[in-house]
Structure 1
């Protein structure tokens, strides 16, 4: 686990098509927290970079192995995502799942980590070992509304040997009203940004050595 936030790079990916909406309000809170902790932060709206869903790479890929889809996903993934030490996904909840923009981000990475890409081994290595956070905005307070999304990010993190360190959920619908959520998700999002590289992460297996304590003794 990274022990400090200083000089770390954080990418905040917004999967909402709305500017100045609830997801972007929460994303900006993450940014404030991460910057206060000394990180360099980039915020990106995914739909500024993606214009198409993943296609069949076997027939779509260029002769040199590169993706032939004419949008800016390559820049978002190669330049921003792979170079980041920590990534926070901010998405509204649509039909009990991630927004199409956010899901498409994950799908489109396949073009670059598939064996048919000439640099796939290097890309897989650079996809690994990140600190991952998740921030969700949903109209419903029903706890189960976000469980599928959380599970997906857990599995993505485990698959890429990354650490899924935290989830924040804001309840809101009208543009920007998440700031009025009495559950204080704005503060929680800022705290997630501040703690992204220092928050404790554990995922024990039965045969692993571990202390009988989670937190250091204070007495």
Structure 2
């Protein structure tokens, strides 16, 4: 099976179960911005697709190599995540980390790129080279509250040879309260969506040929 990336296709994944919470508010802002720029956007709440955590693939994998966990993760991952040119992960910060739903998404991908999955090589190829973004909602304005989620996505970006083109963080507790955050995270999230496929990205290494200028 081929998982060719569709140019201009953005998948927005929400790791909160609340449809009108702060994470959803920011995710919808990303969607508005991306659609205004002419991109195709799908917004998905992870708890519509994931009801189980990762198991021992050696024991529960079906004879044909497919995952036997009875939920909709497979369709989300194979049919929507892999073909997307870009993905924005939107999560509340729970206990200084990503939500359990979002963590389960990352964990469950292992079933499809493990060597025991028949299409693992194509899955790995499709996982690589995406534009990625991270949008966080937290009650605390303390900067360190976001360190772990940002670090995790940075490492996922590095691991998959992708590009982390933006991080947006909103502060609020009651539902929708990020709209009152004076740093204007909703505007920042819209801008992230609007510029998602046009933003520059730099991640230099010692041997990287580079210009003395970053912008233009």
Question: What is the TM-score normalised by the length of structure 2?
Answer: 0.96
1:155 is aligned to 155
Check the 8 A contact 2:52/2:69 in 1, yes or no. Answer: yes
Residues 122-177 of structure 1 deviation map (CA, whole Å, 9 limit, x = unaligned): 01101111000000000000001001110110110111111011100000110111
Aligned structure 1 segments of 4 or more residues deviating by more than 6 angstroms: none
Q: Please give the secondary structure, in 1, of the residue aligned with 2:84.
A: coil
1:200 Cα deviation from its structure 2 partner: 1.0
1:95 Cα deviation from its structure 2 partner: 0.1
1:7 Cα deviation from its structure 2 partner: 5.3
Measured in 1, the distance between the counterparts of 2:63 and 2:137 equals 41
Measured in 2, the distance between the counterparts of 1:122 and 1:200 equals 27
Q: Please give the secondary structure, in 2, of the residue aligned with 1:80.
A: helix
1:73 is aligned to 73
1:214 Cα deviation from its structure 2 partner: 1.2
1:168 is aligned to 168
Residues 33-74 of structure 1 deviation map (CA, whole Å, 9 limit, x = unaligned): 000111000000000000100000000100000000000000
2:196 is aligned to 196
Check the 8 A contact 2:7/2:85 in 1, yes or no. Answer: no
Measured in 2, the distance between the counterparts of 1:23 and 1:154 equals 20
1:187 Cα deviation from its structure 2 partner: 0.2
Measured in 2, the distance between the counterparts of 1:215 and 1:128 equals 25
Residues 69-113 of structure 1 deviation map (CA, whole Å, 9 limit, x = unaligned): 000000110111011100000000000000000000000000001
Check the 8 A contact 1:7/1:38 in 2, yes or no. Answer: no
Measured in 1, the distance between the counterparts of 2:121 and 2:93 equals 33
Q: Does 1:141 align with 2:141?
A: yes
Q: Which moves more between the two structures, 201-210 or 132-141?
A: 201-210
Specify every segment of 5 or more residues in structure 1 that has no aligned partner in the other structure, as ranges: 1-5
Q: Does 1:101 align with 2:101?
A: yes
CA RMSD of aligned residues (A): 1.0
Measured in 2, the distance between the counterparts of 1:181 and 1:69 equals 40
Counting matched residue pairs gives 211
